[in-house]
């Protein structure tokens, strides 16, 4: 007989039919009631076994043992479930030594402990919910762009460029470490390397996406990106996934509209398709918040927060306005900020969080940042006062997360772009291919990057980015 998924049994009120179910035992009560989970949904299926079941089999029904059950779906007598399976036969597929099983050894394992056993944490309710939501968000992202006629462009993972110019790249090489070929001046001769030049893992697919947008009008990338920034925070990964749409003929306002529609669409998708998971995560958060002092607890529950975001327009302010708000704030006047505020600073997360959580209390799009703190490719604003040059940048800041999206309108004017690259010591000759788009049929265009894990954090209410990617890569950590 074909296996039936637990989700399909529970979702359906029908009874009196035979099934085969397979999964892992979550608990076993009174030598009679098995809570069985196969990952297809949050809830367990209750399996009732015959009291005359072979004692040898009963002994092997331990937590996380894998079993196969043949039985009949019947209305449940007990509380908590409408239907249950009355087993007619049970087969142990894989024993689990409960005395050694790491998840069994701790009563309420902490998220930190579970991070150390990330190879097993999928089997907990929390991580089951988180990774089902992560899946749904990824699927919704493709659906959103597909519905709008975007072309999914696979940009390279190995590149020779540093798109963000921040110098935080991981080198890719096949040269021997101990004795690499050298130039006369002693530097490493990368002409001898695998690609015949110095290469690194990509920090962003944007530059290549721009090339695609100049032919397809609308493209997006969705792939892994890598940054060797040594920030051991709850918001940074060395390997993370980014979604980067790039659209010809869009200006900054159209770019903001797209980003807002996009974020709302994928949140709505999760609410529609992962209700049970989100209800569980909402409850989890309530429990977690109980550990915090009253004044630090969030005012809204998780689902309530997501619905609030859907139903309200994101606030849009310029960087200059944002700085003014900070300078006028009680927090600034009472010297509550650790870092100083003045026009030109790269806002710290305390500043971003003040704007989002205290001042506007909703997602905020900050635009027109100082050119000096942004990447070379952003479109230079016209008519700026000397020393106050800004660019058509947009960052979206989300409550509890901070920056979730970074994007801009791009500098499509060749001379302006070249001048800026020269100022920032970005090699224009090597990047001829990028500049060619500005030489051959250039148009205004814009795009942005959404940090996928930060989005998953926002939707699941988890607080550490290591808990929303299956196998986190962070400084000094690449286990599993
Ligand atoms: O703001 P960033 O650096 O923008 C870019 O890379 C542009 N090329 C995007 C574009 O315009 N196409 O990164 C975009 C987003 C950030 O807003 C953040 O959400 C996420 O990527 N991000 C990280 N997420 C996890 N760990 C890190 N170390 C991250 N760095 C950036
Ligand atoms: Mg950014």
Is the per-residue pLDDT at 477 higher than 90?
Answer: yes
- The torsion angle over the Cα atoms of residues 208, 211, 212 and 218, rounded to 10 degrees, is 100
Q: How far is the CA of 128 from the centre of ligand 2 (A)?
A: 30
Look over the chain and give the mean of its residue pLDDT values, rounded to a whole number. Answer: 95
Going by CA atoms, what residue is nearest to atom 6 of ligand 1? 204
Q: Is the CB of 206 under 6 A from ligand 1?
A: yes
Q: Which two tokens stand for residue 52?
A: 């005359």
Measured CA to CA, the distance from residue 222 to residue 425 in angstroms comes to: 29
> Which residue in 340, 365, 392, 348 sits closest to 235, CA to CA?
348
**How are the residues of the chain apportioned to helix, strand and coil, as percentages rounded to the nearest 5?**
35, 25, 40
Residue 220: which residues within 8 A CB-CB, separation 6 or more?
145, 150, 151, 152, 153, 209, 243, 244, 245, 246
**Least reliable range by pLDDT among 174-188, 282-296, 394-408:** 282-296
Q: Model confidence over 291-328: pLDDT tens digits?
A: 888 877 887 899 999 999 999 999 999 999 999 999 99
Give the pLDDT confidence score for residue 99 in this predicted structure: 87
Answer whether residue 67 shows pLDDT above 90: yes
Pairing of strands 402-409, 158-159: unpaired
pLDDT of residue 107: 79
pLDDT at 106: 77
d(CA 463, CA 472): 14
CA of 157 to the centre of ligand 1 (A): 15
pLDDT of residue 79: 83
Q: What is the pLDDT of residue 358?
A: 94
Q: Could you give the domains of the chain?
A: 6-101 (2.40.50.140), 125-157+210-467 (3.30.930.10)
Nearest ligand to the C-alpha atom of residue 405: 1
Categorize the per-residue pLDDT at 58 as very low, low, confident or very high, splitting at 50, 70 and 90: very high
CA of 20 to the centre of ligand 1 (A): 46
227 lines ligand 1 (CB under 6 A): yes
Cα distance between residue 311 and residue 332, in whole Å: 31
The pLDDT value recorded for residue 165 is: 78
Residues contacting 123, CB < 8 A, separation 6+: 24, 37, 64, 103
CB of 127 closer than 6 angstroms to any ligand 1 atom:
no
- What's the CA gap between 16 and 423, in Å, rounded? 75
Ligand 1 pocket, residue 240 CB under 6 Å: yes
pLDDT of residue 296: 79
Q: What is the pLDDT of residues 330-385, one digit of tens each?
A: 999 999 999 999 999 999 989 999 999 999 999 999 999 999 999 999 999 999 99
- Looking at residue 113, its pLDDT comes to 94
Is the pLDDT at 163 greater than 80? The verdict is: no
Counting atoms of ligand 1 from 1, which one is nearest the CA of 404? 19
Spell out the residues 6+ positions from residue 443 whose beta carbon is closer than 8 angstroms to its own. Answer: 214, 248, 249, 412
For ligand 1, atom 28: residue with the closest CA: 236
Q: What is the pLDDT of residue 368?
A: 98
Nearest CA to ligand 1 atom 27: 236
453 lines ligand 1 (CB under 6 A): yes
Tens of pLDDT, residue by residue over 415-465, are 999 999 999 999 999 999 999 999 999 999 999 999 999 999 999 999 999
* CB distance 128 to ligand 1 below 6 Å: no
The reported pLDDT for the residue numbered 13 is 87
Query: In this predicted structure, what is the pLDDT of residue 186?
Result: 94
C-beta contacts of 345-353 below 8 A and 24+ residues apart: 345/373, 346/373, 347/322, 349/235, 349/402, 351/326, 352/397, 352/402, 352/403, 353/402
**Cα–Cα distance between 411 and 157 in angstroms, integer?**
24
Sign of the CA dihedral with 302 first, then 306, 311, and 317 last: positive
**Parallel, antiparallel, or unpaired for β 45-48 and 83-94?**
parallel
- 346: which 2 tokens? 């790269």
Contacts of 291 (CB under 8 A, 6+ apart): none
Which residue intervals of 251-301 are DSSP H helices?
A: 252-273, 275-289
- How many angstroms is it from 243 CA to the middle of ligand 1? 9
Q: Which pLDDT score, from 0 to 100, does residue 182 have?
A: 96
pLDDT digits (tens, 9 = 90+) for 14-33: 999 999 999 999 999 999 99
Tokens 């058509």 sit on residue? 392
Instruction: Go through 52-78 and write b for each residue having 16 or more CB atoms within 10 A of its CB, e for each that does not.
Output: eeeeeeeebbbbbbbbebebebeebee
Write out the H or E segment, with its range, that includes residue 185. none
From 204, 212, 242, give the residue whose CB has the most ligand 1 atoms within 8 Å, as the site to mutate: 242
CA-proximal residue: ligand 1, atom 7 (nearest) = 449
Query: Residue 104 pLDDT more than 90?
Result: no
Residues 6+ apart with CB under 8 A from 401: 235, 454, 457, 458
What band does 161 get if pLDDT is binned at 50, 70 and 90?
confident
- pLDDT > 90? residue 166: no
Ligand 1 atom at shortest distance from the alpha carbon of 244: 12
pLDDT of residue 337: 95
Residue pLDDT, tens place only, 110-126? 999 999 999 999 999 99
- Residue to mutate (ligand 1; options 153, 240, 373; most atoms within 8 A of CB): 240
Identify each DSSP E strand in 114-174 by its residue range. 151-152, 158-159, 171-172
C-beta of 205 in contact with ligand 1 (< 6 A) = no
Q: Which residue has tokens 């990964």?
A: 237
Residue 51 in contact with residue 36, Cβ under 8 Å?
no
Instruction: Give the pLDDT confidence score for residue 164 in this predicted structure.
Output: 82
């Amino acid at each position: 007989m074909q296996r039936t998924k637990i989700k399909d049994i529970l979702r359906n009120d029908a009874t009196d039919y035979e099934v085969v179910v397979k999964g892992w035992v979550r608990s076993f009560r009174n030598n009679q009631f098995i809570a069985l989970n196969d990952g297809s949904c949050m809830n367990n299926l209750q399996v009732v076994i015959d009291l005359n079941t072979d004692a040898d089999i009963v002994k092997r029904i331990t937590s996380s043992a894998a079993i196969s059950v043949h039985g009949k779906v019947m209305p449940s007598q007990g509380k908590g479930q409408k239907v249950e399976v009355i087993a007619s036969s049970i087969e142990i597929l894989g024993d689990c030594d409960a005395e050694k099983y790491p998840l069994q050894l701790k009563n309420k394992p902490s998220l930190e402990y579970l991070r150390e056993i990330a190879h097993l944490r999928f089997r907990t309710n929390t991580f089951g919910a988180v990774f089902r939501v992560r899946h749904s968000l990824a699927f919704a992202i493709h659906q959103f762009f597909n519905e709008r006629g975007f072309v999914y462009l696979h940009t390279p993972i190995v590149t020779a460029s540093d798109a963000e110019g921040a110098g935080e790249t991981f080198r890719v090489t096949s040269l021997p470490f101990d004795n690499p070929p050298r130039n006369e001046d002693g530097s490493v001769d990368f002409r001898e390397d695998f690609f015949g030049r110095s290469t690194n893992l990509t920090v962003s697919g944007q530059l290549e996406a721009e090339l695609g947008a100049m032919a397809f009008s609308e493209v997006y990338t969705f792939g892994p990106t890598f940054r060797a920034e040594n920030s051991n925070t709850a918001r940074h990964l060395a390997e993370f996934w980014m979604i980067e749409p790039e659209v010809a003929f869009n200006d900054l306002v159209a770019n903001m509209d797209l980003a807002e529609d996009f974020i709302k669409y994928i949140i709505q998708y999760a609410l529609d398709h992962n209700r049970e998971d989100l209800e569980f995560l909402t409850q989890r958060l309530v429990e977690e918040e109980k550990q915090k002092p009253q004044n630090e607890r969030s005012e809204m529950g998780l689902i309530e927060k997501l619905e609030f975001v859907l139903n309200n327009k994101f606030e849009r302010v310029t960087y200059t306005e944002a700085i003014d708000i900070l300078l006028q704030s009680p927090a600034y006047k009472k010297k509550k900020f650790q870092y100083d505020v003045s026009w030109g600073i790269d806002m710290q997360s305390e500043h971003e969080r003040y704007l989002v959580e205290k001042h506007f209390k909703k997602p905020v799009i900050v635009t027109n940042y100082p050119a000096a703190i942004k990447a070379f490719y952003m479109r230079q604003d016209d008519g700026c006062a000397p020393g106050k040059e800004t660019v058509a940048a947009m960052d979206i800041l989300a409550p509890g997360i901070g920056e979730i999206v970074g994007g801009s309108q791009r500098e499509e004017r060749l001379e302006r772009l070249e001048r800026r690259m020269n100022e920032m010591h970005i090699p224009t000759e090597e990047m001829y291919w990028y500049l060619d788009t500005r030489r051959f049929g250039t148009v205004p265009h814009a795009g942005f990057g959404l940090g996928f894990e930060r989005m998953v954090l926002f939707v699941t209410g988890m607080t550490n980015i290591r808990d929303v990617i299956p196998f986190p890569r962070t400084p000094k950590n690449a286990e599993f």
